[in-house]
Structures are given as structure tokens and as C-alpha cells.
């Protein structure tokens, strides 16, 4: 399975999964149809699946037009997004599995950004390999999504599920927010040397218009304050002890940053 990253709109990424054996493709969160159709044409491939993480327009905006070109395409999404994702056919719950390119992805129910949000996780195919996590707007590189339809507790529970995945997991999040996320992070986790190093790297990468996605769970666990609500540094910076209050304060500060 090859993963192709397509930048669209101001800061969205669409991910194309290409099965090189069958020349079939699946697409994760098509904000728009046109750029996806162009890539599929280049590959001479056939679209068979749309994997949506949640119902926001910058994730499902291309569904309708893609279906017009590839009527057999199956649209997947969370069960609680029923009625909110255009042309949805499959309604997924935690623990479900979906198959693409002979690989099975585990579905995680990760509410917080929206109440219906899900993630798709493809475990590594062999012991030395990487897993691939498509987490939409829940976990970002250096940050997390805003709480539009959920509480800090929801988000802590959701991010706990993602944090429990192996370090060698590529994080394919849906927005290029890394620089502004890290700019905030260094004001909180002030003495984290790995964070400062990452921030300096990302400044250079963004100056050269290099994508910072995918990230890895290993680097996120070390430097993303939204995965570190239980570290002494973040707890004392927020002045709270319990995960929901630490996280709630942190998210609130980022909202106003
Ligand atoms: Zn969203
Ligand atoms: Fe989004």
C-alpha cells in the first residue's frame, strides 16, 4: 500500500491509498474531488473506497463528485455520523475492521472534536514495519483538534486510545497545523529539549514549504503537550492534577493563543 499526500484548500491534506497489486485506490477525507481525480487519472487506477473520519465539509466535500465518477465507491464513516456524511454506506463502530489492499484497519471511536469522529489504524504488516494512523482532526502533529462537540474528558479518552498505539506509527492527520501548534507548545512545555529541537526543524521545513505530515507517534508522545497531560511539567504548568482539568485548561489556552 502506497500513501500519497495531496495538499488542498489552505491547510488540508487528502490521503490516497494505492494498492499497487490491484491498482485500486481508497481516499481518506476527500475535502475536494478534483485533486483526487487528477491523481487517480495519473495512476490509471480505480477508486473503490472513501474513508471519512468525520462529517466536516473539509473532509467530506469531495464525496458527491467522486461518487459521480466512481459510482461503485463505498463510503465509510462512523455510525454516529449517520445522516451527516454524504453517500455513507458503511457505519463503523469501535472494534470494527475495514479491509483495503489485503490489509485490515482497526476502527477507533475517538469523540471530542465531533461526537462521531473515528480513526482508521492499519497495524504494521511485519515486525519491523510501521503502522499507519488516519486520525482526521483529533490528533494533530504537535496539537489536537478543537472541542466542537465533546468535553475534555472525551478527548482525553480518545487521545489515550491513540497514545496506546506503538511508537512506530505514522500519524496522518488532516491539517498542516504543526508550526502554530509547536509555537504554542514551547510556551507550555518550556524545558522540553526535544520539543525545542522539533520546533526549530519545523520552522525550517515550513520555510521551504515541506510537509510535516506524516508525523510519528514516537515524536508526538515526546513533544505534543496534548498527549502529555499526566506529566509533572504539564500538570504544574496548568496548576491542576486530574487529566480532564489539565487537558481542559490546556485546550482552553490554545483556543485563545
Ligand atoms: Zn473537523
Ligand atoms: Fe478539518
Q: Which domains does the chain have, with CATH numbers?
A: 2-255 (3.60.15.10)
Cα 113 to middle of ligand 1, angstroms: 7
C-alpha 151, offset from chain centre: 19
Cα 187 to middle of ligand 2, angstroms: 24
Q: Say if residues 137 and 173 touch (Cβ distance below 8 Å).
A: yes
Cα 174 to middle of ligand 2, angstroms: 6
Neighbouring C-beta atoms of residue 172, cutoff 10 Å: 23
Average pLDDT, the chain: 98
Cα 107 to middle of ligand 1, angstroms: 18
Nearest to 115 by CA among 87, 84, 140, 144: 84
Through-space distance between the first and last CA atoms of the chain, rounded to whole angstroms: 39
Average pLDDT over residues 56-82: 98
Q: Side-chain half-sphere of 224: how many Cα atoms within 13 Å?
A: 25
| pLDDT value of residue 128 | 85
Confidence of residue 192 (pLDDT cuts 50, 70, 90): very high
Neighbours of ion ligand 2 (CB under 5 A): 58, 137
Note if the pTM is more than 0.85.
yes
Cα 56 to middle of ligand 2, angstroms: 6
- The SS3 call for residue 231 is coil
Q: Which ligand is nearest to the CA of 149?
A: 1
Q: Which ligand is nearest to the CA of 31?
A: 2
| pLDDT value of residue 225 | 98
Cα 146 to middle of ligand 1, angstroms: 8
Cα 166 to middle of ligand 2, angstroms: 25
Confidence of residue 15 (pLDDT cuts 50, 70, 90): very high
Give the start-end residues of each E strand in the chain. Answer: 2-8, 12-19, 24-28, 46-51, 74-78, 88-92, 97-100, 103-109, 118-122, 131-136, 139-140, 143-144, 169-173, 215-216
Amino acid at each position: 500500500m502506497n500513501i500519497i499526500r495531496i495538499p488542498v484548500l489552505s491547510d488540508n491534506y487528502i490521503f490516497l491509498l494505492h494498492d499497487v497489486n490491484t491498482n485500486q485506490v481508497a481516499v481518506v477525507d476527500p475535502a475536494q474531488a478534483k485533486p483526487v481525480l487528477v491523481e487517480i487519472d495519473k495512476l490509471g487506477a480505480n477508486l473503490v473506497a472513501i474513508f471519512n473520519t468525520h462529517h466536516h465539509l473539509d473532509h467530506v466535500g469531495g464525496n458527491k463528485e467522486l461518487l459521480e465518477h466512481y459510482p461503485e465507491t463505498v463510503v465509510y464513516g462512523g455510525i454516529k455520523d449517520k445522516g451527516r456524511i454524504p453517500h455513507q454506506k458503511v457505519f463503523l463502530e469501535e472494534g470494527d475492521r475495514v479491509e483495503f489492499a489485503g490489509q485490515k484497519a482497526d476502527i477507533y471511536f475517538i469523540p471530542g472534536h465531533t461526537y462521531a469522529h473515528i480513526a482508521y489504524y492499519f497495524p504494521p504488516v511485519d515486525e519491523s514495519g510501521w503502522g499507519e494512523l488516519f486520525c482526521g482532526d483529533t490528533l494533530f502533529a504537535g496539537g489536537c483538534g478543537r472541542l466542537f462537540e465533546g468535553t475534555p474528558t472525551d478527548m482525553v479518552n480518545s487521545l489515550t486510545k491513540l497514545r496506546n498505539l506503538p511508537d512506530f506509527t505514522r500519524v496522518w492527520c488532516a491539517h498542516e497545523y504543526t508550526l502554530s501548534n509547536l509555537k504554542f507548545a514551547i510556551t507550555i512545555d518550556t524545558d522540553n529539549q526535544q520539543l525545542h529541537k522539533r520546533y526549530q526543524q519545523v520552522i525550517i521545513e515550513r520555510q521551504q514549504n515541506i510537509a510535516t505530515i506524516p508525523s510519528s507517534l514516537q515524536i508526538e508522545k515526546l513533544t505534543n503537550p496534548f498527549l502529555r497531560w499526566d506529566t509533572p511539567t504539564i500538570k504544574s504548568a496548568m496548576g491542576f492534577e486530574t487529566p480532564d482539568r489539565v487537558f481542559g485548561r490546556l485546550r482552553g489556552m490554545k483556543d485563545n493563543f
